Chain A
């Protein structure tokens, strides 16, 4: 796949043709300097954007052929995403933020599962708080719980510790590692954090839109 955008009237390739395969249950780190195309790659895999050429296959499904509605459904059921800036819904409590993906997918007994996920991330007593009442680390843990809400086989994380101090960053790393190791989920991380990248089974390094390793 590749991605070319129009910038200032002329085409700009932000991801050159590239091809790789990630096996089920693996933890992969995508690293590289700013502007190297990491987030673009993650966005393409999440179905948030479409590649200019090529195709992306998730568990045998060619997602480049899916409509926006189908992609949304796919994300809801098969992919969990964690962002650098958490991106929780500010008008909902921590508990409700975790509920949302399950409600969209029409999961039964979503409430007890949301409570269990809150316990899993160590925030069992903070469920009624709004994002603005939580620290950055707590918000990111809520975001991880939300990413796991529908028990997706794939979890994508974009700089998950990029906005946290080292102590809370460490807690988040532990959580993500446990998702991969104990729950067996495929984990794809975009990170600058060498400590986090070190936990990955393999690393894809990008530079100027090309895979260099």
Chain B
């Protein structure tokens, strides 16, 4: 019996493999997507976790933004004890880099400075251009090492001089590969290495400046974790952070597992799309094989033998599809440009064994599941139809076995989704989403056939018959709507989200936004800086005080946080905030509760004995439950500051030309006594001369002051958005290609019916042109409906993401969505026409003779 099943399956497949080519292409695309996406993430994880130690550059790093006080240093050395074998110090800060007058391109730009000592780094090394070996001597004595793009931008070469914080440094090498990650936050420019001793001689590490001080330690492997814990406990009240390469490894591992599972779900969605194709092919295949099934039953084959024959065929085809998918994934991996991989710290992608195994397994499983329901129909084929043709159309009602199979298939698909997502919730969400989507598409297709029915009375022949074709027996309307609609939904959805994000960013750099933010202006420099930059400004620059502080306690009605540890545990106000003090509310702020003070405090304390008053942003009220009347305690550069909350404001962040501050303090003796710098907001006059001139003037007179080019920051964010969009669009396009393939397959599957119809039409006098018009209109209508469905879904998706994920104002993108609908209609009509070419050119007599 088994022998018969195997031989029969082989013979059947041998005869119809060309027709089934489409089947394994569907499987292959999905499998390739899973294998490729998983492989990339697995490789990134392996590389990053393997090199976690070189990414940190040490076993353990202790860092602060406050500078090392004698007290902290002493306690650190006590805690280090014998566990720490060696230490070295690093300081990271930002500054403006310029070329000496008349040299290079004359550009002034912000850079990330990293001051290092001779032992840096403990692990890994800096790779320099031209095979030059890194040694600390290269930076010693005002030497500098920079990245190649910086040199190009500044028009510099090795050996040239550049000005950092107003001091001349000599470029002694070009860093081509730098594994050691920065301490945190956003990078404001290219990195430049200098000697820490030289950096200390500049004005950049003054009190209150934006520098991160790090102590890198080499520690015995067994001591890393206990020491990390010990240090964290010992310094929990200080602004000191402790991290080890093991933490980084854990964090990376966790994040990448999430990424891997998320991308696998994307792959799974593509496989499901392929599965719809498989379902469609199998359904038509069964219809075409009904007579063969009846013959087999007539010559003694049982229903289970026949079913096994076709299941085996599906298994082989799915395996072939899986292997083709593997080949596609290997080719795809080789085709990924190295520049795209660079940002993931890998140079090339190879397909991993486990990803290949998983991809093929999912492909086979999904194919079997999708093929099973239509295949069960073979059980119901009666051999009597060979004697009486009318038996073939016996009741198409589904029996309990078919329903059971459908339910089991859905449950099994959900299990595959859970497996791929690595999470029950995510897996259920995705399969639930797909189910809802499928149900919606199913209903819409029914509705479509019904709504379009009146058009069948149109005087236009092509339109009339196109509409009738949508509802013809064995039509593929639902399949096409589902496949193309889903592809369209992904592509348009992501594009709509991107349009919203880009619009938001454009608003940010619009009329009201400053061009530059000046940071680290010392109190005694405020007048000078304002004077130096005013000639280049469109309006008088706004300069305001900036305190860097942490919340270390709240004594409130709804919330009681006794110390920094309690604040950390609450988890709502753990970051370091930029605070300002002023005596009036700004135009981009609206008072929601309480009273904003008038004028500065004249006494050292408020009437109720606190240092000052504070106005909080609505976010703190909503999320951390701080209210008017509560008392907040801040740690400003190591000094305590207490303030009673007297008002709640809402800041319109879009119009943050006056700066957006979560906490605003009431000016007064206590506030003005704590260390603070100033921050300036500036709109320069139009034209590149003003931009360059202003930066040069600033660098010359105030080398410690940094100017952050907002447009550049926005550009970097935009690049990130573009990259993410590109990635997701690629997925959407793959889905659309899958949809087009399914469409072609669906058209091909109804070819037999169409050939007959076309032959009759031709006999009755229809020209090829008329037939082509019918096909075009039919697929045009179908494409437009799939497009409308996808566009509607895309609109909802972009609204949800804008509202709940990005928390930005949602704007419909009508031009994009309408263009998407039209383009989909066009693509579907053309694909339909191409796939029907055979039907249009075939001689009618051949069909009618049954050749």
A75 at the A/B interface (Cβ < 8 Å)?
Answer: yes
- Given the contacts A48-B382, A91-B15, A91-B16, A39 and B299 also touching, CB distance less than 8 Å: no
C-alpha spacing A92/B11, complex, angstroms = 7
Instruction: Decide if A81 is an interface residue (CB 8 Å cutoff).
Output: yes
CB < 8 Å neighbour of B387 from A48, A91, A96, A146: A48
User: Which residues in chain B, 2-40, are within 8 Å of chain A measured between CB atoms?
Assistant: 3-4, 7-8, 11-12, 14-16
Q: Please name the residue on chain A nearest to B389 by beta carbon.
A: A85
> Quick check: A90 and B15 within 8 Å, CB to CB?
yes
Taking the closest CB of chain B, its distance from the CB of A17, in whole angstroms, is 21
Interface residues of B in 370-408 (CB under 8 A from A): 382-384, 386-388
* Those of B580-609 within 8 Å (CB) of chain A: none
B384 in complex: contacting residue of A43, A69, A88, A150, CB < 8 Å: A43
Chain B nearest CB, measured from A211 CB (Å) = 19
Q: What residues of B have a CB within 8 angstroms of the CB of A81 in the complex? A: 298-299
| Candidates B292, B382, B387; contact of A83 at CB < 8 Å | B387
The yes or no answer to B1 lying at the interface (CB within 8 A) is: yes
Q: Give the residues in chain A near B1, CB-CB below 8 Å.
A: 104, 106
The contact size tier of chain B is 20 to 34
Nearest Cβ on chain B to A83's Cβ, whole angstroms: 6
Question: Cβ of B301 and Cβ of A72 under 8 Å apart?
Answer: yes
Interface residues of A in 11-64 (CB under 8 A from B): 39-40, 42-43, 46, 48-49
Q: Would you call A104 and B300 a contact (CB within 8 A)? A: yes
Q: What is the 8 Å Cβ interface bit string for chain B, positions 288-308, against chain A (1 contact, 0 not)?
A: 000110111111111111000
Chain A residue at smallest Cβ distance from B4: A103
CB of B304 to closest CB in A, whole Å: 8
Which has the most chain B C-beta neighbours within 10 Å: A39, A73, A103?
Answer: A103
The answer, among B11, B12, B305, B383, for a CB contact under 8 Å with A48, is B383
Q: Which residues of B contact A169 (CB under 8 A)?
A: none
Expressed in whole angstroms, the Cα–Cα distance for A48 and B383 within the complex equals 6
A197: min CB distance to chain B, Å: 19
Interface residue A100 (Cβ < 8 Å from any Cβ of B): yes
The size bracket of the interface on A is 20 to 34
Given A48-B382, A48-B387, is A91 in contact with B11 using a C-beta cutoff of 8 Å? yes
Q: How far is the CA of A104 from the CA of B299 in the complex (A)?
A: 8
A48-B384, A103-B4 as given contacts; A72 in contact with B295, CB under 8 Å: no
Q: Which of A49, A69, A87 has the most CB of B within 10 A?
A: A87
The answer to whether B300 touches A76, judged by C-beta atoms less than 8 angstroms apart, is yes
Task: List B contacts of A42 (CB < 8 A).
Answer: 387
Q: Residues 99-113 of chain A: 1 if any B CB is under 8 Å from the residue's CB, otherwise 0?
A: 011011110000000
Interface centre among A90, A92, A101, A104 (most CB of B within 10 A): A104
Give a binary string over B440-476; 1 marks a CB under 8 Å from any A CB, 0 the rest. Answer: 0000000000000000000000000000000000000
Instruction: Give complex CA distance A76, B1 in Å.
Output: 12
Annotate A103-144 by CB proximity to B: 1 below 8 A, 0 otherwise: 111100000000000000000000000000000000000000
CA distance A65 to B272 in the complex (A): 44
The smallest C-beta distance from A182 to any residue of chain B, in angstroms, reads: 23
Contact of A103 with B7 at beta-carbon distance under 8 Å, contacts A49-B384, A89-B295 already known: yes
How far does the alpha carbon of A155 sit from the alpha carbon of B292 in the complex, in Å? Answer: 20
Query: With the chains together, A42 CA to B387 CA distance in Å?
Result: 9
Q: Could you tell me the distance in whole angstroms from the C-beta of B220 to the nearest C-beta in chain A?
A: 71
| Smallest beta-carbon distance A44→chain B, Å | 10
Question: Is A39 touching B388 in the complex (CB atoms < 8 A)?
Answer: yes
B387, A73: Cβ atoms closer than 8 Å: no
Closest to A158 in B: B387
Q: Which of A68, A69, A90, A146 contacts B299 (CB 8 A)?
A: A146
Closest-CB distance, B543 to chain A (whole angstroms): 85
| B4 engages A90 (CB within 8 Å) | no
Contacts A100-B8, A103-B4, A104-B4; A87 near B386 (Cβ below 8 A) = yes
When A73-B302, A103-B7, A104-B305 are in contact, do A43 and B15 touch as well, CB less than 8 Å?
A: no
| A69 to B15 Cα, complex, angstroms | 27
Across-interface contacts of B382 in A (CB, < 8 A) = 48-49
The answer to whether A100 and B299 have CB atoms under 8 Å apart is yes
Distance in Å: Cβ of A113 to nearest Cβ of chain B: 15
B305 to chain A, nearest CB (A): 7
Chain A residue contacts of B15, Cβ below 8 A: 90-92
Known A-B contacts A43-B388, A48-B382, A83-B387; the reply to A90 vs B292 at CB < 8 A is yes
Query: 15 additional contacts, CB 8 Å, given A46-B298, A87-B386?
Result: A40-B388, A48-B384, A75-B300, A83-B387, A90-B15, A91-B14, A91-B16, A92-B15, A100-B8, A101-B300, A103-B3, A104-B301, A105-B300, A106-B1, A106-B4
15 CB < 8 A contacts A-B: A39-B388, A40-B388, A46-B298, A48-B382, A49-B384, A69-B303, A72-B302, A76-B301, A77-B300, A100-B8, A100-B299, A103-B8, A104-B299, A104-B305, A158-B387
Which B residues are closer than 8 A to A by beta carbons?
Answer: 1, 3-4, 7-8, 11-12, 14-16, 291-292, 294-305, 382-384, 386-388
Task: Give the 7 A-B residue pairs with the shortest CB-CB distance, closest first.
Answer: A76-B300, A91-B15, A103-B4, A48-B384, A101-B299, A104-B300, A72-B302
